[in-house]
Every structure is written in structure tokens, then in C-alpha cells.
Amino acid sequence: MQIVAIGLIATVLIVVVKSQRPELAVLLSVAAGVVLFLLVLGKIGSIIDVIKDLAERAGISMFYLGTILKIIGIAYIAEFGAQICRDAGEGAVATKIEFAAKILIMVLAVPIVVAVFQLLLKLVS
Amino acid sequence: MGSNLDLIFKIAGVGILAAVLNSILKHAGKEEQGHLVTLAGLAIVFMWVIQLLANLFDQVKSVFKLF
């Protein structure tokens, strides 16, 4: 409820401001996005705690879980920035942010890929 | 949460105020001061939004254990 209300209020204010000052409208939409995400972030934290608990019980290494969480965080922040850039009409910058995020995710995923390959080689030999 | 919502209203208020002041100054024939008002409003709002963004990034970092 709260979240929908904040979104609607922010949308109305953005439309009012946009006709006069488009540069302030961009900042307003950034602020609205941050506020909405901060409201949900606490709940995401508790979900992650539950997932960690489950992983510990299942005996999965915390290293893999940490990598997955980092990848999710990078993906979210990059998506946030890219959407703001696209809203402001800068599609090229948005594409570059997404590209950088993909590269960073690849870097994080390399240890897991190496582990999979080592397992495969062990099985073959 | 309340202070965050306040920030949205504050930004919109600054935007409307800057627009009104700009049109008044334009009618009074003071274009340069109108530009200055616009720039000042943008700078103030930018400071707020950057603080908010830093807060967001810190929280995301602590939740997702980044870096």
C-alpha cells in the first residue's frame, strides 16, 4: 500500500515538475526510486538470512552463496543506474553501464566456472 | 521512511519554486538571475539526492556483502 502510494505521489510530482524543469524531474525520479528500494531492502535482508541458514544446513559452501549474492547486488545497482540514464534519454550511457555490470559479473563467476571444470576433469581422469 | 518521503516533497517544492521564481524574474527582465536560481535549485537538490544515493549504496553493500 505504502509503496504504491509513494509511487503515485512521486509520479504526480514528477509530471508537475517536468513541464517546467526537466533536470529536476530526473533527480526526483532518482529519489523516488531510492526511497522505494530502501523500503524493500530490509525485507530482502531477512530473506537472505533465511537462505543463508538453509544453505548452512544443506552444507553448501558460503563462498558460492556469497558470490551469488554479490552478483544479485551488482545486477540490481547496474539496472537501477541504467534505467535512470534511459529515462533521462541517454540510452548510450545506459548500455555502457549494463556492459560494465556484465563484465563484473563474469569476473565474479570465474572461480565457480573453474571449480566446475576441475570437477569435470577429476571425473574424466 | 517519513524523512525519505519528505525528501520527495522537498525536491518537488524546490522544483516548483524555481520554476515560479524563474518566470517572475523573466518578466522583470532579469534573465541572468533566473538562470542562477535554476542553478542553485539544481545544486541543492543534487546534494540531497547524492546523500540518498550514498545511503542506498551503503545499504545494498551491507545486505549483499559486496566488496
* B67, amino acid identity: F
Mean pLDDT over the full length of chain A: 87
State the pLDDT confidence band at B2, using cuts at 50, 70 and 90. Answer: low
CA distance A124 to chain B (A): 35
Average pLDDT over residues A26-49: 86
pTM, rounded to two decimals:
0.76
ipTM, 2 dp:
0.73
- The residue ranges of every structural domain in chain A are 1-44, 61-125
Q: What's the start-to-end Cα distance of chain B, in Å? A: 27
pLDDT for res A98: 94
Residue range A88-115: mean pLDDT, rounded: 91
pLDDT surpassing 80 at residue B34: yes
Residues in contact with A34: Cβ distance below 8 Å, sequence separation at least 6, in sequence order: B4, B49, B52, B53, B55, B56
Would the CB atoms of A35 and B11 count as touching at under 8 Å?
Answer: no
Radius of gyration of chain A (CA): 20
Per-residue pLDDT at A106: 92
Chain B residues lying within 8 Å of A38, measured CB to CB:
1, 4, 55-56, 59
Nearest CA in chain A to B3: A35
A70's enclosing H/E stretch is helix A62-87
Amino acid at A95: T
User: Mean of the pLDDT values across residues A49-63?
Assistant: 84
Q: Rounded distance, CA A82 to CA A23, Å? A: 17
The Cβ of residue A8 has, within 10 Å, a number of other Cβ atoms equal to 10
